[in-house]
């Protein structure tokens, strides 16, 4: 399949980023002892490798239609859900990495011209968002992050202020 130059350029940049992220996650996996976090890194590395294979197949001019493999599943082990302070920091950084990869994939998809390439990058972004959510579940279970909540009163005031938009 012949690709638009912008699609090729964006994927070349993504491949370089994937190389760095995969190597970083391999280092993190060796640094932590928590079994659940190790499994998360293994899952993250696995689907990023799938992304690499998929992009290389998209770039290959003799390949036709390409599909992205489904992301694997992860069973959360409640018994190993507590993290050390260092593991919390590493998990927070890995969560931000997944978020950044999702943003990059989605933003790139908006600029891509080939519909198959565009669709696959949207799927990649969705997998990155799912990975971010997995890290977040573990971090929240370990009380590694605090999320302030809005009051019901503030939500009700906001709702009242903008309900008129339904009539626009």
50 exposure class (CB count in 10 Å sphere: 0-12, 13-18, 19+): middle
Instruction: Rounding to the nearest 10 degrees, give the CA dihedral for residues 61, 62, 67, 68.
Output: -60
**For residues 6 and 113, is the Cβ–Cβ distance under 8 A?**
yes
pLDDT at 135: 95
- 123-143 pLDDT, tens digit each: 999 999 999 999 999 998 887
The residues spanned by each domain of the chain are 5-167
- 83-106 pLDDT, tens digit each: 999 999 999 999 999 999 999 999
* CATH ID of 5-167, from 3.90.550, 2.30.30, 1.20.1260, 1.10.3470: 1.20.1260
Single pTM value for the model: 0.89
DSSP-assigned letters across all residues of 63-92? -----PPPPPP----GGG----HHHHHHHH
Token pair belonging to 75: 């069973």
């Amino acid at each position: 399949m012949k690709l638009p130059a912008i699609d090729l350029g964006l994927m070349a940049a993504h491949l370089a980023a994937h190389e760095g992220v995969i190597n970083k996650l391999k280092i993190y996996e060796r640094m932590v002892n928590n079994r659940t976090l190790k499994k998360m890194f293994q899952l993250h590395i696995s689907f990023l490798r799938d992304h690499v294979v998929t992009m290389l197949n998209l770039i290959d001019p003799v390949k036709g239609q390409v599909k992205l493999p489904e992301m694997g599943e992860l069973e959360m082990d409640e018994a190993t859900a507590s993290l050390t302070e260092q593991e919390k920091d590493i998990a927070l950084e890995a969560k931000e990495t997944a978020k950044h990869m999702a943003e990059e994939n989605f933003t790139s998809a908006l600029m891509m011209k080939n519909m198959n390439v565009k669709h696959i990058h949207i799927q990649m972004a969705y997998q990155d968002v799912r990975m971010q959510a997995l890290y977040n579940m573990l971090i929240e279970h370990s009380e590694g992050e605090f999320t302030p909540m809005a009051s019901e009163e503030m939500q009700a005031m906001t709702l009242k202020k903008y309900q008129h938009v339904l009539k626009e």
